[in-house]
Amino acid sequence: MTDSQNKTNLLSMDRDELGGYFESLGEKPFRANQLFKWIYQSFETDFEQMNNLSKVLRTRLAEVACVHFPRLEQVQIAKDGTRKWLMRLHDGNGIEVVLIPEEDRATLCISSQVGCSLNCTFCATARQGFNRNLDAGEIVGQVWQAWHQLEKERKECQNANGKAVQTYQQPGKDPRPITNIVLMGMGEPLLNYNQVTKAIRILLDDLAFGLSRRRITLSTAGVVPGMQRLSKELPVSLAVSLHATDDTLRNTLVPLNKKYPIDVLLQACRDYVDGRARERITFEYLMLDGINDSDAQALELAKLLKNVPAKVNLIPFNPVENVPYKRSGPRRVNAFREILMQNGIITVTRKTRGDDIDAACGQLVGRVDDRTKRSARLKTQSGVGVNINVV
């Protein structure tokens, strides 16, 4: 990608691509290793400070290249410590990025698109419409910005107290400010396959963030061709937004189901983990009062997942303006969970995090210049089942 000054954004390249770029400048490919260390380990973006590069190369890079990432515009911190950053893109659109801190991990939820084209009827992002895909640099840039901000805070605490301080983790735990990445923010990652997988390769790179595949989770509404391709090329952990046990209901909740119904989706899930011992698909199931939370539906879900290496995350519904669903009560959620557990399905109830700053699941909206004009149409329509063609 090039920025507004027609400079190549080096954040958009994985290491192999960057090596080729240096060759095009008449340099050796190993310069990519040096640049990766500067950008991702030292958070240095000023070529002039990269003192193991020649003066001639530094000058040339300043002329033709840049390290450009989304600009931090706003941060909100919830009572439970969850953070939500609004990041501004070069075209004026905004995306939201959420950090969920726990004692033994810190999970960053990042976006893959500006808005979303899938029109799931429970989701705030869907109501914002869709503008465009993010490029790899904009995806990686979310992690870079969040990681950099947390490292700055750690160093400030260390300087103030004379010792290292972790702001969200207990002593002796993983010292990295971010331990897990989930592509579970705005957008459907598998509808931006090439840029998402390039970004993941950068996140995995030992000279960048050095995360393992098990530490990166891609969440999909069920784009089956993308799942099939990902299983062969870059099998990171997979989460599937299921939310229903029959096609009629799922067609309404997740309109993509009309293209890839439940039986096709579940076969793709079985294929995804085939031959990989101990791998499980995480199925996300939003608990909607009186819609998908009955005992009969729990039994049907257990039946559907009987032959799939699965773990189920039950997600309490988080309020979204003008969306006519309600959260299932705690007793109903617990009863649903017990039925799944009794039928041999590993099941957890996801703790709601960051809902007081609209950072919880399904609440991310950003600031989207809606090319689909869906957001304008929805202002004049009510109820569920408003259908947009899935692309």
Out of 96, 138, 188, 284, pick the active-site residue. 96
* CA triple 41-46-50, angle to 5 deg: 65
Is 361 considered catalytic here? yes
Judge contact between 236 and 230, C-beta under 8 A. Answer: yes
Nearest to 254 by CA among 230, 279, 288: 288
Give the C-alpha separation, 284 to 244, whole Å: 10
Contact 2, 8 (CB under 8 A): yes
Q: Report helix angle 193-204 to 224-233, nearest 10.
A: 30
Tell me phi and psi for residue 259, to 5 degrees: -85, -40
66, 120, 123, 361: the catalytic one is: 361
Contact partners, residue 133, CB within 8 Å, separation at least 6 = 112, 113, 114, 187, 191, 192, 195
Which residues carry out catalysis? 96, 361
